[in-house]
Amino acid sequence: MDEDGLLARIVPRLPRGSDTLLGPGDDAAVVAAADGRVVVSTDVLVDGQHFRRRWSSGRDVGFRAAMQNLADIAAMGARPTALVIALAVPDDIAPEWLEDLADGLAEACGDVGVVGGDLSAGTELSVAVTVLGDLAGREPVRRSGARPGDVLAHAGVRGRSAAGHAVLEAGLDGFDDLADAYRRPLPPLAAGVDAALAGATAMLDVSDGLLRDALRIATASGVRVDLDAPAEVFADDLAALAAAARALGVDPAMWVLAGGEDHGLLAAFPPSTPLPAPFRAVGRVIAGEPAVTVAGEAPRGPLGWDHFARRSDRG
């Protein structure tokens, strides 16, 4: 099928969104920006690096591609307004797989429009997503605002996606909930705006691991971030991961602390601020050289995911 034929099958399945003034069909789309500023982020998913087609349907990949980008906008304290998708498609991809991907995008986006993009032939399947957002007059919540005395809080689940990747990699049956958490993460998108309204001083999307992303807040803010012991604050996560961890012979705390791609939100709040749901306190911000610690001790093992580490089996 040629490019026009593929687009004719894909575009009608994409959501329009309430901020879309002009959607697909012209050389560019037009999206409302009532704030006068636009929050922009982009990400790319590559077959074999970020997902595997033998594990994930087209609908799974579309859902995941949307969610991980929507979470970036939420982490700035903004509301997502539109997505632009660029696809590089090898010869072995059927049109039905691309229709499924469009359906996954629509399922994840809800009222956020997919307003256009690009479609190209390629040697490997890649999905590049650019997402726009609106701050509604607020200042963005950056990584660099955490101050000593702030409470560190997290919204969302921890370790589920990493555990799901591990059980899929090992070919274990009986852990569909974890596999689905890897294929179709559910970040707490509305919590980003709620955190901004509550006065969050710093925030980011936990995409590469709780330790690694906490260190990013510490480095940007010039502070030390100390996480509480996992057994104290992540007991529910550890319990949910326990059976899979026993089957694989690993410590579930490793998934909680260093596993990424759950796309929860990690934020710092002034100590007197009531934490908005579903945030809960998981540590504190301390004066000192930028570092991340766990119960006052340097963490052992990897901090999280590194896109350029020698881990080509990730996906």
Residue 89, token pair as written in the block: 């498609």
pLDDT at position 1 is: 65
Q: What is the pLDDT of residue 14?
A: 87
Burial class of residue 18 in the structure, from the number of CB atoms within 10 Å of its CB (0-12 exposed, 13-18 middle, 19+ buried): exposed
The ranges assigned to domains in the chain are: 3-134, 143-294
Instruction: List per-residue pLDDT tens for the chain, 315 residues long.
Output: 677 788 888 888 888 899 999 998 888 999 999 999 999 999 999 998 888 898 999 999 999 999 999 999 999 999 999 999 999 999 999 999 999 999 999 999 999 999 999 999 999 999 999 999 999 999 999 999 999 999 999 999 999 999 999 999 999 999 999 999 999 999 999 999 999 999 999 999 999 999 999 999 999 999 999 999 999 999 999 999 999 999 999 999 999 999 989 999 999 999 999 999 999 999 999 999 999 999 999 998 888 866 555 443 343
Which pLDDT value is given to residue 153?
Answer: 98
**Amino acid 309: pLDDT:** 59
d(C-alpha 261, C-alpha 183), whole Å: 10
Q: What is the pLDDT of residue 310?
A: 44
Which residues, 6+ apart, have CB-to-CB distance to 94 below 8 Å? none
| Contacts of 192 by beta carbon, 8 Å cutoff, 6+ apart | 71, 73, 74, 75, 76, 77, 78, 141, 203, 265
Residue 303's pLDDT is 87
Tokens 């052992």 sit at which residue?
300
Pick the CATH number of 3-134 from 3.30.1330.10, 3.20.20.70, 1.10.540.10, 3.20.20.140: 3.30.1330.10
pTM for the whole structure: 0.92
- 87-107: buried (b, 16+ CB within 10 Å) or exposed (e) per residue? bbbeeebeeebbbbbbbbbbe
Residue 205, strand partner residues = 265
Give the Cα-Cα-Cα angle 201, 65, 84 (nearest 5 degrees): 90
CA trace torsion 269, 275, 281, 283 (10° rounding) = 10
pLDDT at 300: 86
Give which of 44, 207, 33, 66 is closest to 133, Cα–Cα: 33
> Does the domain at residues 143-294 carry the CATH identifier 3.90.650.10?
yes
- The pLDDT value recorded for residue 314 is 41
Q: Residue 118 has what pLDDT?
A: 93
